[in-house]
């Protein structure tokens, strides 16, 4: 199995009471990319609710949220789980434009998904400004290590060659999933959040009565990356 991610830094937590002090909440757009069946939806569900359940292939894109509380700021992850099926490839880029972090997911027991992850990376590189997106290569399904087709060395080598971060997880058991989310949160805050206009503030939208004819429902825009 791949190297263990360190536990959360002091003051970092996935859930907690921040009512005793006022902290800023920043929006982070996260996108999960990879072939169909690698476990992107299961990872997204682990991130959002720390749950696992079998799921059907994603159609288009699924959306979830999760807040991560760091020592001086709260990051509200807006998690976009994209469809991996080839027929959706042409529209997937619409969902990952402007992402602050992207997880390239492959199945360690399926070599073809590792090869396809490199194709997704090339597509992603057309959409982002270097330094504005934290990219993590994730080998999922370490619970199936008995059928491993992609070694830890191969995953780490690809990540090193392409300037990516790397870890292995199991959405089924939850192994290294929370640690990964915390590590991503710290890296995004340190790298993207430090840029002028890198992360925008999130504020809860007031309740809108959709039955009132005089009320227009507000549109929610994606996060802007870079200056």
What is the residue range of 48's domain?
24-191
Q: Is residue 210 part of a domain?
A: no
pTM listed for this prediction: 0.79
Predicted local confidence at residue 202, as pLDDT = 85
Residues of the chain with pLDDT under 50: 10, 16-20, 58-59, 84-88, 210-227
User: What is the secondary structure of 57-126 as a DSSP string?
Assistant: PPSSEEEEEEEEE-SSEEEEEEEEEE--SGGGHHHHHHHHTT-SEEEEEEETT-HHHHHHHHHHHHHHHT
Predicted local confidence at residue 213, as pLDDT = 40
Question: Position of tokens 């992107």?
Answer: 40
Q: Is residue 97 part of a domain?
A: yes
CATH number of the domain where residue 176 is located: 3.40.50.300
Q: Is residue 204 part of a domain?
A: no
Alpha helices in 15-62 (DSSP H): 40-49
Q: Is residue 218 part of a domain?
A: no
Predicted local confidence at residue 224, as pLDDT = 36
Predicted local confidence at residue 132, as pLDDT = 82
Q: Is residue 208 part of a domain?
A: no
Distance CA 118, CA 105 (A): 10
Q: pLDDT of 129-150, one tens digit each?
A: 777 899 999 999 999 999 999 9
Distance CA 199, CA 188 (A): 9
Predicted local confidence at residue 17, as pLDDT = 45
Domain count, the chain: 1
Among 124, 187, 136, residue whose Cα is nearest residue 166:
136
Q: Is residue 43 part of a domain?
A: yes
Q: Is residue 3 part of a domain?
A: no
Predicted local confidence at residue 90, as pLDDT = 53
Q: Is residue 213 part of a domain?
A: no
């Amino acid at each position: 199995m791949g190297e263990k991610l360190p536990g959360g830094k002091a003051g970092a937590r996935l859930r907690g009471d921040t009512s005793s002090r006022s902290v800023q909440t920043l929006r982070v757009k996260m996108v999960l990319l990879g072939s169909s069946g690698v476990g992107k939806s299961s990872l997204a569900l682990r991130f959002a609710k720390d749950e696992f359940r079998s799921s059907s292939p994603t159609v288009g894109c699924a959306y979830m949220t999760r807040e991560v509380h760091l020592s001086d700021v709260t990051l509200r992850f807006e998690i976009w789980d994209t469809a991996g099926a080839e027929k959706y490839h042409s529209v997937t880029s619409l969902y990952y434009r402007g992402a602050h972090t992207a997880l390239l997911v492959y199945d360690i027991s399926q070599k073809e998904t590792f090869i396809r992850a490199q194709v997704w990376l090339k597509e992603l590189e057309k959409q982002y400004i270097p330094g504005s997106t934290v990219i993590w290569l994730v080998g999922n399904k370490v619970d199936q290590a008995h059928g491993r087709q992609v070694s830890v060395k191969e995953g780490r080598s690809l990540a090193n060659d392409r300037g990516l971060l790397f870890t292995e997880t199991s959405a089924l058991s939850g192994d290294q999933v929370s640690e990964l989310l915390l590590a991503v949160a710290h890296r995004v805050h340190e790298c993207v959040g430090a840029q002028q206009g890198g992360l925008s503030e999130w504020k809860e939208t007031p309740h809108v009565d959709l039955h009132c004819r005089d009320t227009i429902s507000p549109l929610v825009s994606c996060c802007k990356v870079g200056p």
